[in-house]
Amino acid sequence: MIGDNMMVTADNRSLWLVIGLITLAVMVFAGGHFYRSAWKSLLNGAATMDTLVALGTGVAWLYSMSVNLWPQWFPMEARHLYYEASAMIIGLINLGHMLEARARQRSSKALEKLLDLTPPTARLVTDEGEKSVPLAEVQPGMLLRLTTGDRVPVDGEITQGEAWLDEAMLTGEPIPQQKGEGDSVHAGTVVQDGSVLFRASAVGSHTTLSRIIRMVRQAQSSKPEIGQLADKISAVFVPVVVVIALVSAAIWYFFGPAPQIVYTLVIATTVLIIACPCALGLATPMSIISGVGRAAEFGVLVRDADALQRASTLDTVVFDKTGTLTEGKPQVVAVKTFADVDEAQALRLAAALEQGSSHPLARAILDKAGDMQLPQVNGFRTLRGLGVSGEAEGHALLLGNQALLNEQQVGTKLSKRRLLLRHRKGQRLCCWRLTGKR
């Protein structure tokens, strides 16, 4: 019958009555929440989108059932039935809610991936020795150990040892950071090299990772300015629609053709059905939830929904370079030596020294050295925040950043202008010093 002649006749009254009862069942079981919400809003003296849904679908069904039961009261051209309108409106809005729920579920899966960054256990250090304990049993103040390859279970502060930590999940920076006594470590980060003892300071929902997850969830449930505007519009839109329906009905009652009461009911019903808010109540939450969830899948955390809305007005975006605009896999692009030092010899000794380091720049130097025969290095030391040192083939070697050479009071022939030019090209300077044989 749907899509065919939507008018009641003597031949199809019974069938339409069955369809009307089925529609009523749909309204009660699939759309009952709209009517309950509208009733609560009415008791509170407010009007919401659910109010308009309840009015539109309810009036459409009542009008159709009246035509179905007493068609003789209505002129032939007014015997249209609107059962399908009630069912379709409820179905479409429920479909939107279902899609919204699926978007939330997809967002939750992205958050679950963040939760997977925390290990299920931690290595507890006590006077009796070390033992593995469930993460839920870790309390602030406990002493924990981390070794190469471990994922940090909770936030804390290093009390002993040094290690290189990959904090890309927090900072987006793929190059590991050297951590030592007094430095903070955060749950979810990974120890790439080294071993440390650290004291737990924040566990469970108080860790930095948990706060990030909580921030994303809040962003999903927050409303941007445009969403708040939609709510304000709804508060005005509903009573305005009701007034328009009543005014239209009154005009047809006083100035319309006979039978006036029938046309009055038809016009009022039509206005309420047309004004039913299938899109206004769904567009904002759907777009926000989908946008925040999709961004989380790509590692982009949206702090609040308003930020997502305002992003459309941006004309300038500043990116972190390493690991964002680049792959985060440094390569040696040039070897520059001074005095009588051969470039091949410099590269060979630098690669030998870097064999004891897991820093990405060390791997880049080793890759550049390729199959070179590397000498054995004695007295290898990691100079925190500066570089490395050691001895090979009777030479004292230093390899690190400009600060290392400044500390060692080693001058270079590179001018500040040339250094700045290198940095502008996205190149990082790795300084190397070789002393004579001992």
Residues annotated as catalytic (active site), given as ranges: 320
Residue type, 407: E
**349, 380 in Cβ contact below 8 A?**
no
Q: Which of 86, 63, 59 is nearest to 242 (CA)?
A: 59
Instruction: State the burial class of residue 350 (Cβ atoms within 10 Å of its Cβ: 0-12, 13-18, 19+).
Output: buried
CA distance 81 to 149: 69
Instruction: Record the tokens describing residue 359, joined without a space.
Output: 């820093």
User: Which 8-state DSSP code applies to residue 380?
Assistant: E
CA 299, distance to chain mean position in Å, is 7
- Other C-beta atoms closer than 10 Å to the C-beta of 167 total 19
Q: What is the dihedral of CA 25, 29, 35, 36, to 10 degrees?
A: 140
Q: Is 373 helix (H, G, I), strand (E, B) or coil?
A: coil
CA distance 341 to 331: 22
CA distance 228 to 216: 19
CA distance 43 to 25: 25
With residue 396 as reference, give the H or E element that holds it.
strand 395-400
Q: Which of 55, 40, 24, 436 is nearest to 238 (CA)?
A: 55
- Strand-pair partners of 124: 131, 144
Instruction: Enumerate residues 6+ apart whose C-beta is below 8 A from 249.
Output: 264, 265, 267, 268
What is the full DSSP assignment across 44-71? TT---HHHHHHHHHHHHHHHHHHHHH-G
Instruction: State the burial class of residue 219 (Cβ atoms within 10 Å of its Cβ: 0-12, 13-18, 19+).
Output: buried
Q: Is the bond preceding residue 259 a cis peptide, omega within 30 degrees?
A: yes
Strand 184-185 and strand 177-179: the pairing is unpaired
Instruction: Record the tokens describing residue 200, joined without a space.
Output: 């737990």
**189, 163 in Cβ contact below 8 A?**
no
